[in-house]
Structure 1
Amino acid sequence: MTVREIAVGDLEGLLRLYTELHENPMPAQGETLSALWHGILEDKNHHIVVAEKKGEIVSSCVVLVVPNLTHGQRPYALIENVVTAKAFRGRGLASACLDYAKQLALQHNCYKMMLLTGSRQESTLAFYRKAGYNSRDKTAFVQWL
């Protein structure tokens, strides 16, 4: 297994993995998708972490570093789109991606990391607790647009 940041040639593999995240359809290839992809790659605060097995992307998470004017002007990190392919779950791949994400947050001098999950499954919640997250310190609210 290799855990690393995404590379320019990884888009199709990442999108294939994302079809297992909330049953997302494979998006149409085109200029809009290409522009979005290159914008993400060029954004120094947008990181996509992937775990691959035999050249296939099988787990991933997104780390966004948000500049901040509080807490000594230290940024914070948001974690999103945590997913592992069904055939590879339970092997520590998502944990490895989250560990890599934490190292990125530390390198950026973030004072905290936050993530939200829509899952109510105790196994998912226990996974995040084991990864060092807690649900006691903050209350999350979401407004869908």
Structure 2
Amino acid sequence: MTDHLFRPAVVGDVPAIVALLAADPLGAGRETPDDLTPYLAAFDRLAADPNQHLLVAERGGEVVGTLQLTVIPGLSRAGATRTVIEAVRVRSTERGLGLGTRLMEHAVEESRRLGASLVQLTSDTSRVDAHRFYERLGFTASHLGFKLALG
């Protein structure tokens, strides 16, 4: 199936993106699709930042996938620019059709276009299937990540 369109998200996509985030087992406990106010404010911040790229996959006029691509210029690795892929979601009815692979390939190509020499991502330790998926795409589990909740 190749009838998916990849494009930058627009504010009208926010409800569909939040629905994808909330439909995920981990997101079900932390997302609140009944109140879009914080998501709309976050979208405004993302849209104003040239290093943030919120992408959607659309099929038949509906958002069926999403991810966020963040560009991070740095000093390490001889001043390399890297991108971070986060919040990858594909609607359950679209899984197994190759959309996730095409969405990730699109993000990698976009990273190249943006001048990145490294693409990285994190994945919750419970997402074993996602880990296999990322490894099939050539990503390696090279680091251990840590988080500190501030609120």
TM range (shorter): 0.7 to 0.9
Q: Deviations over 1:88-125 (max 9, x none)?
A: 11111121211111112111221211111115454322
Amino acid at match of 2:131: L
8 Å CA contact 2:20, 2:90 repeated in 1: yes
Q: Does 1:93 align with 2:103?
A: no
Within a 5 Å distance, the mapping from 1:1-145 to structure 2 comes to 1-21=4-24, 22-23=27-28, 24-30=31-37, 32-135=38-141, 137-145=142-150
In structure 2, distance between residues paired with 1:40 and 1:88: 26
What is the aligned residue count?
A: 143
SS at match of 1:58: strand
Give the C-alpha shift of residue 33 in structure 1.
4.1
Amino acid at match of 1:98: M
| Percent of residue pairs bearing the same amino acid type | 22
SS at match of 1:19: helix
8 Å CA contact 1:48, 1:61 repeated in 2: yes
Is the alpha carbon distance of 1:16 and 1:140 closer, same or farther for their aligned partners in structure 2, counting shifts above 3 Å?
same
Structure 2 residues not aligned, in runs of 5+: none
8 Å CA contact 1:51, 1:96 repeated in 2: no
In structure 1, distance between residues paired with 2:90 and 2:18: 12
SS at match of 1:14: helix
When normalised by structure 1's length, the TM-score is 0.86
